[in-house]
A = this chain, B = another copy of it.
Amino acid sequence: MVNIKLSNRARNTPPSPIRKLAHLANNARRSGTHVYALNIGQPDIESPQEFFDGLNLFKQKIVAYDQSQGNENLCKAWSRYVNRTLQVQTSPEQFLITMGASEALVFLFMTCCDPGDEVIIFDPTYANYLGFAAVAGVTLVPILSNMEDNFALPAKNVIEQKITNRTRAILLCSPNNPTGTVYGRGELQFVLDLCEEHNIFLIVDETYREFVYDELEPLSILHLAPNNRRVIVVDSLSKRFSLCGARIGCLLTSNEEVLSTALHIAQARLAAPTIDQFASAHMLYNIKDDYLENARNEFQARRDALYYALREIPNVTVHRPKGAFYTIAQLPVDNAEAFATYLLSQFSCGGKTTFIAPAAGFYMQNSQGTKKARFAFVLKKSEIEAAIEVLAAGLLQYLRQQP
């Protein structure tokens, strides 16, 4: 029996809190249980017809490599789309096309940081940031934001206490995954000023930019700092257009040095997928504004359904999100992962159960999330209501069994 040690970094890379219970959900499905998947940000809205039209227009006989910096036509289409919808001025040369926002963040961590360098994030955070940091050998420095404050940004002195001579960037996700918090103009300016003062990068993950509710308008860091060389936007088509599986993201900056250096890393992986880029370009040129308008209205209705349903459950505290399609709720259990596991493996109600993501994995300070869970409102309103009904029944039964 061969025994070869694997790397510490691989063994220490935490499994995704969103996916780590997936095998239990698969078991439940196999045994005939319907699983309401509120664990993962996989929207059920149909992808735009314009994307499929683009797919049908692909008539190249050879599926060849595209450029490492991304398909030229896609860079143009994306720049034009952003300029039109946000009223900003970007140029195609400011884009580097990546395989999802995921790859954009890995490229940025590697471009901005040497191993051991630090990036400040706000806790709770998108769990995969931890994975990207592990891959890049970057130390994430978490600063806690509190549910009681609607996950607002911490005070200046609290953040500054964490800035060291190894700090290379602040990474902000707005609208936020996993909290649904939307940072306003004042908060963005506050972080931007901090980055100016300490001469570090500001990376803003705007994957959910258009998903803002209650009359909010989409806000980009580009609105405040259109040509600031320390500002890098990470973007993705995954959520906005229900194209998670197309794996098309980008990084966008006016800093040519960041672009040309990241390109070295991009060249090593050759290129993003050709057909998906082709179809995405066609879509961005032709997409109608009502696609996102409809999606936004739909998600707002789902947000309301989820929020009010969760609020009805005794001893559950729930945050009211202003954007994205997530929220965090505190559950009256000692351990939300044990409860999530219970729902998938020991409970069903009318042949149904609910899959939630335990929040501990979204907190670098895990213990802050032990009793919390992240809920994605990515199902139809009626399904969300049914899912929470099932969860409430499960919770009752779970609490009864506890000693």
Contact = CB atoms under 8 A, between A and B. Distances in A.
Nearest to A131: B268
Contacts of A272: 247
A194 to B, nearest CB: 14
Interface residues of A, number: 81
Nearest to A110: B10
A40 B62 contact: no
Interface in A65-103: 65-66, 68, 99-100, 102-103
A15 interface: yes
A10 B265 contact: yes
State the majority secondary structure of interface residues on A. loop
A295 to B, nearest CB: 12
Given A103-B269, A131-B267, A11 B65 contact: no
A2 B228 contact: yes
Given A99-B99, A244-B64, A272-B247, A201 B42 contact: no
A61 B2 CA distance: 46
B264 A247 contact: no
Nearest to A111: B10
A271 interface: yes
Contacts of A263: 15
A381 interface: no
Nearest to A272: B247
A18 to B, nearest CB: 8
Interface stretch (A44-52, A153-161, A333-341, A389-397): A44-52
A10 B264 contact: yes
B201 A4 contact: yes
Interface in A163-202: 168, 199-201
Given A47-B62, A51-B63, A65-B42, A7 B111 contact: yes
Contacts of A58: 55
Interface stretch (A141-149, A254-262, A297-305, A351-359): A254-262
Contacts of A270: 100, 102, 128, 244, 247
A64 to B, nearest CB: 5
Nearest to A274: B245
Contacts of A114: 7-9
Interface stretch (A28-36, A132-140, A204-212, A306-314): A132-140
A112 B9 CA distance: 9
A388 interface: no
10 smallest beta-carbon distances between A and B, as pairs? A131-B268, A245-B274, A16-B267, A63-B245, A2-B229, A13-B264, A65-B244, A10-B111, A46-B61, A7-B114
Given A99-B247, A132-B268, A135-B265, 18 more contacts: A4-B200, A10-B264, A13-B268, A15-B267, A16-B68, A40-B65, A47-B63, A55-B275, A64-B244, A102-B269, A110-B135, A115-B137, A130-B268, A131-B269, A134-B268, A247-B273, A275-B275, A275-B276
7 contacts: A6-B111, A7-B114, A9-B114, A99-B247, A128-B270, A131-B267, A245-B275
